[in-house]
Amino acid sequence: MAQYSRVSGAIGLITLQNPPVNALSAAVRQGIVDTVKRALSDPKVNSVVICGQNGIFCGGADIKEFGKNMSGPPLVPMIHAIEAANKPVVAAIEGSALGGGLELALGCHYRIAHSKARLGLPEVSLGLLPAAGGTQRLPRLIGVPAALELITTGRHVTAAEALQLGVVDMVTDHSTVDAAIKFALNVAGKPLDGRRISTYPCPRQSDLDSLFEEVMQKVRKSARGAIAPVACVQAVRAAATQPYLQGMEREKELMATLFTSGQARALQYCFFAQRAVGRWSMPSGARWDTSKARPVHKAAVIGLGTMGRGITVALAQTGLSVVAVETQEKQFMEAKQAVSGMLERGAKRRGVAPALDKISYSRDIQAVADVDLVIEAVFEDMALKKTVFQQLSAVCKPGTFLCTNTSGLDVDHLASQTRNPELVVGMHFFAPAHVMKLLEVVYGPQSSPQAVATAMQLGKKMGKVSVAVGNCQGFVGNRMLKPYLEQALFLLEEGATPELVDRALEEFGFPMGVFRMSDLSGLDVGWRVRKGDGLVEPGSGQPARIRKGRRYSPLGDLLCEQGRFGQKTGRGWYQYDKPGSRVAKSDPWLHNFLEEYRARHGLVAHRIDHQEVLERCLYALINEGFRILEDGIAAGPEDIDIIYVFGYGWPRHRGGPMFYAGMVGLAKVLERLEHYHHAHPDVPYLQPCSLLRRLVASGSPPVHSWREVIKKLHSQL
Ligand code: COA
Ligand code: ADP
DSSP sequence for 439-458 = EEEEE-TT--HHHHHHHHHH
What is the rounded distance in angstroms from the CA atom of residue 495 to the CA atom of residue 493?
A: 6
- CA 26 from chain centre, in angstroms, equals 29
Please report the pLDDT score of residue 528 as a whole number. Answer: 86
Please report the pLDDT score of residue 566 as a whole number. Answer: 96
Contact in structure between 119 and 157 (CB atoms under 8 Å): yes
Is the Cβ atom of 661 under 6 angstroms away from ligand 1? Answer: no
**Which residue CA neighbors atom 20 of ligand 1 most closely?**
20
Query: Relative to the alpha carbon of 56, which ligand is closest?
Result: 1
Closest CA to 643 of 504, 468, 505: 468
Task: Say yes or no: domain 291-475 is CATH 3.40.50.720.
Answer: yes
Is the Cβ atom of 612 under 6 angstroms away from ligand 1? Answer: no
- Lowest-pLDDT choice from 117-121, 278-282, 379-383: 379-383
Q: To test ligand 2's pocket by mutation, which of 312, 313, 328, 427 has the most ligand atoms within 8 angstroms of CB? A: 328
Per-residue model confidence as pLDDT tens digits over 490-513: 999 999 999 999 999 999 999 999
Per-residue model confidence as pLDDT tens digits over 637-682: 999 999 999 999 999 999 999 999 999 999 999 999 999 999 999 9
- Lowest-pLDDT choice from 55-64, 65-74, 688-697: 65-74
Q: To test ligand 2's pocket by mutation, which of 307, 337, 378 has the most ligand atoms within 8 angstroms of CB? A: 378
- Hey, how many other C-beta atoms are within 10 angstroms of the C-beta on 472? 19
Please report the pLDDT score of residue 532 as a whole number. Answer: 81
Q: Catalytic residue at 671?
A: no
Task: Give percent above pLDDT 70 in the chain.
Answer: 99
Of these residues, 83, 103, 251, 499, which one is catalytic? 103
**Which residue ranges does the chain devote to CATH 3.90.226.10?**
2-259
Per-residue model confidence as pLDDT tens digits over 329-346: 999 999 999 999 999 999
When pLDDT is averaged across residues 392-410 and rounded to a whole number, the result is 95
Q: How far is the CA of 62 from the centre of ligand 1 (A)?
A: 9
List C-alpha distances in Å: 698 to 323, 343, 587, 669, 705: 53, 52, 49, 15, 11
Is the Cβ atom of 123 under 6 angstroms away from ligand 1? Answer: yes
What is the rounded distance in angstroms from the CA atom of residue 435 to the CA atom of residue 456?
A: 17
Helical H segments across 108-243, by residue range: 134-142, 144-153, 159-165, 176-187, 208-223, 228-241
Please report the pLDDT score of residue 544 as a whole number. Answer: 77
Cβ-defined contacts of 602-608 (< 8 Å, 24+): 603/493, 603/494, 604/495, 605/494, 605/495, 606/494, 606/495, 607/495, 608/491, 608/494, 608/495, 608/496, 608/500
**Which residue CA neighbors atom 10 of ligand 1 most closely?**
21
What is the rounded distance in angstroms from the CA atom of residue 223 to the CA atom of residue 124?
A: 10
**DSSP H/E element including 300:** strand 298-302
Q: Is the confidence at residue 553, as pLDDT, over 90?
A: yes
- pLDDT band per the 50, 70, 90 thresholds, residue 179: very high
Please report the pLDDT score of residue 100 as a whole number. Answer: 98
**Which residue ranges does the chain devote to CATH 1.10.1040.10?**
495-600, 610-716
E strand map for 343-448:
359-362, 373-376, 401-404, 424-429, 438-443
Please report the pLDDT score of residue 186 as a whole number. Answer: 96
Of these residues, 94, 123, 326, 376, which one is catalytic? 123
When pLDDT is averaged across residues 590-618 and rounded to a whole number, the result is 96
Q: Which CATH architecture has domain 610-716?
A: Orthogonal Bundle (1.10)
Per-residue model confidence as pLDDT tens digits over 91-103: 999 999 999 999 9
Is the Cβ atom of 168 under 6 angstroms away from ligand 1? Answer: no
Dihedral pair phi/psi, residue 554, rounded to 5°: -85, 10
- pLDDT band per the 50, 70, 90 thresholds, residue 13: very high
**Which residue CA neighbors atom 16 of ligand 2 most closely?**
328
Residues shown for the chain:
717
- Hey, how many other C-beta atoms are within 10 angstroms of the C-beta on 663? 16
Q: Is the confidence at residue 526, as pLDDT, over 90?
A: no
Q: Is the confidence at residue 234, as pLDDT, over 90?
A: yes
- Which one has a higher pLDDT value, 526 or 398? 398
Q: Is the confidence at residue 693, as pLDDT, over 70?
A: yes
When pLDDT is averaged across residues 485-492 and rounded to a whole number, the result is 97
Residue 374 CA neighbour count, 13 Å, CB half: 32
Q: To test ligand 2's pocket by mutation, which of 379, 528, 529 has the most ligand atoms within 8 angstroms of CB? A: 379
Which ligand 1 atom sits nearest the alpha carbon of residue 279? Answer: 19
What is the rounded distance in angstroms from the CA atom of residue 512 to the CA atom of residue 44?
A: 63
Task: Give percent above pLDDT 90 in the chain.
Answer: 91
Q: Is the confidence at residue 205, as pLDDT, over 60?
A: yes
DSSP annotation of 497: -
- pLDDT band per the 50, 70, 90 thresholds, residue 541: low
Please report the pLDDT score of residue 540 as a whole number. Answer: 57
Please report the pLDDT score of residue 548 as a whole number. Answer: 82
Query: Relative to the alpha carbon of 521, which ligand is closest?
Result: 2
Q: Is the confidence at residue 539, as pLDDT, over 70?
A: no
Q: Catalytic residue at 561?
A: no
Q: Which CATH architecture has domain 2-259?
A: Alpha-Beta Complex (3.90)
Q: How far is the CA of 120 from the centre of ligand 1 (A)?
A: 13
What is the rounded distance in angstroms from the CA atom of residue 134 to the CA atom of residue 140?
A: 10
What letter represents residue 591's amino acid? H
Identify the CATH class of 495-600.
mainly alpha
What is the rounded distance in angstroms from the CA atom of residue 454 to the CA atom of residue 544?
A: 47
Q: Residues with beta carbon inside 6 Å of ligand 2?
A: 302-308, 325-328, 331, 365, 377-379, 384, 388
